[in-house]
Chains A and B, each alone.
Chain A
Amino acid sequence: MKRSRAGALHPAWMIALLILPILLGLAALCIGRISYPLPEILKVLAAKCTGGAVDKQMNIVIWSIRMPRILLAMLVGAGLSVAGCAFQSLFSNPLATPDTLGVASGTSFGAALALLLGCNLLGVQGIAFAFGILAVTLTWLSAAGKGRGLSSVVLAGIMIGSLFSSLVSLVKFTADTETQLPAITYWLMGSLSGAGFASLKWGAPCIAAGILVLFLLRWQLNVLPLGEDEAKSLGSNIRLLRIVTVICATAVTASSVAMCGQVGWVGLLIPHICRMAFGNDHRAIIPASVSLGAAFLVVVDTLARSISAAEIPISVLTAIIGAPFFIILMRRSRGWRL
Chain B
Amino acid sequence: MRLEIRDGCFGYRGGSPILDKVCLQADSGDLIAVLGPNGAGKTTMLRCMLGFLKWTSGDSLLDGKSIRSIPARELWRCVSYVPQARNFASASTAEQAVLLGRNAHIGLFSQPKPSDIDYADSLLYKLSIGHLAQKSCAEMSGGELQMVLIARALAAEPKILVLDEPESNLDFRNQLIVLETMTELARQGMTVIFNTHYPDHALRRSNKALLLHKGGQALFGETHSIVTEAHIQDAFHVRTVIGEIETDERIYRSILPLELAGEASEIAPDTHRIATVSVILRNDAQAMQVNDILHEYSRYLVGRMGLPYRKAGVHIINVTLDAPQSDIIALTETLGRIPDCSVKATYA
Contacts and interface: CB of A to CB of B under 8 A. Distances in A.
A337 B91 contact: yes
B89 A337 contact: yes
Contact of B103 (A5, A6, A236, A280): A236
A233 B52 CA distance: 9
Main secondary structure, interface of A, reads loop
A220 B112 CA distance: 10
A279 interface: yes
A280 B92 contact: yes
Given A6-B99, A217-B108, A220-B108, A230 B81 contact: yes
Contact of A234 (B93, B103, B112, B120): B103
B117 A337 contact: no
A236 B72 contact: yes
A55 interface: no
A266 B54 CA distance: 42
B93 A225 contact: no
A230 B106 contact: no
A334 B95 CA distance: 24
Contacts of B120: 6
B110 A6 contact: no
A216 interface: yes
Contacts of B101: 234
B92 A219 contact: no
Given A229-B52, A235-B73, A281-B96, A335 B103 contact: no
Given A6-B112, A337-B91, A233 B76 contact: yes
B87 interface: yes
B103 A337 contact: no
Given A217-B109, A283-B111, A235 B76 contact: yes
Interface string A225-262: 11111101111110000000000000000000000000
Contact of B77 (A218, A235, A281, A338): A235
Nearest to A232: B52
Given A220-B108, A222-B100, A233 B90 contact: no
Interface in A280-320: 280-281, 283
Given A6-B96, A217-B108, A280-B91, A337 B138 contact: yes
Nearest to B76: A235
Contacts of B75: 235
Nearest to A225: B90
B308 interface: no
A213 B262 CA distance: 61
B104 interface: yes
A184 B141 CA distance: 54
Nearest to A3: B134
A205 interface: no
A216 B109 contact: yes
Contacts of A280: 90-93, 96
Contacts of B110: 219
Contacts of A337: 89-91, 138
B337 interface: no
A6, A217, A218 interface centre (most CB from chain B within 10 Å) = A6
A222 B104 CA distance: 13
A336 B101 CA distance: 23
A338 B92 CA distance: 7
B30 to A, nearest CB: 20
Nearest to B51: A232
A230 B162 CA distance: 12
Contacts of B89: 92, 337-338
A245 to B, nearest CB: 12
Given A219-B106, A234-B76, A280-B92, A6 B117 contact: yes
B83 interface: yes
Nearest to A229: B52
A220 B92 CA distance: 14
B156 interface: yes
Contact of A222 (B50, B80, B92, B117): B92
Contacts of A279: 92-93, 96
Contacts of B197: none
B90 A235 contact: no
Interface in B100-139: 100-101, 103-104, 106, 108-112, 117, 120-121, 138
Given A7-B93, A219-B110, A337-B89, 9 more contacts: A6-B112, A6-B120, A216-B109, A227-B87, A233-B80, A234-B101, A235-B77, A337-B91, A337-B138
25 contacts: A6-B117, A6-B121, A92-B89, A216-B109, A217-B108, A219-B110, A219-B112, A222-B96, A226-B100, A227-B83, A229-B50, A229-B81, A230-B81, A232-B72, A233-B76, A233-B83, A235-B72, A235-B75, A235-B103, A236-B72, A237-B72, A279-B93, A279-B96, A280-B93, A337-B91
* 5 smallest beta-carbon distances between A and B, as pairs: A235-B104, A235-B76, A233-B81, A234-B103, A337-B91
